[in-house]
Amino acid sequence: MGRQSGVALVQALLISALLLLLLTQLALTGRDQLGRAQAMLDRSTAEFALHSQEAALLYSLLTEPKWPVSASDNPYARLWRFDGVAFEVDGVRLRLQDQSGLVPLNWAGEPRFLDLLVQLGLGESAAAQVNSSLHAALRAGQMPQSVSELVRYEALTPSLLEQLSEVITLYPVTALNPRTAPLPVVAMFVSPAAMEAVTRLRADSEIDEETFMQLTGIFPDESINLAVGRGVGISISGRHGSVWLQRDGVVSISPYSAEPLVLWGPRPSIAGQVP
For the chain, the domains span 49-102+171-275, 103-168
Q: Which of the four pLDDT bands, split at 50, 70 and 90, describes residue 160?
A: confident
**pLDDT at position 241 over 80:** no
**Cα separation of 32 and 168, whole Å?**
44
**Cα separation of 23 and 233, whole Å?**
52
Q: Write the CB contacts of 142 (distance below 8 Å, at least 6 apart in sequence).
A: none
Task: Return the pLDDT at 109.
Answer: 92
Over the stretch 30-53, which tens digit does the pLDDT of each residue have? Answer: 666 666 666 677 778 778 888 889
**Percentage above 70 pLDDT, the chain:** 86
Top-confidence residue, 22 or 215:
215
**Least confident among 34-38, 93-97, 174-178, 261-265:** 34-38
Mean pLDDT of 139-165: 85
Mean pLDDT of 11-18: 72
End-to-end CA distance of the chain: 59
**Other Cβ atoms closer than 10 A to 16:** 10
Mean pLDDT of 110-126: 90
Task: Return the pLDDT at 9.
Answer: 65
**Cα separation of 77 and 167, whole Å?**
24
Q: Write the CB contacts of 138 (distance below 8 Å, at least 6 apart in sequence).
A: 105, 106, 108, 109
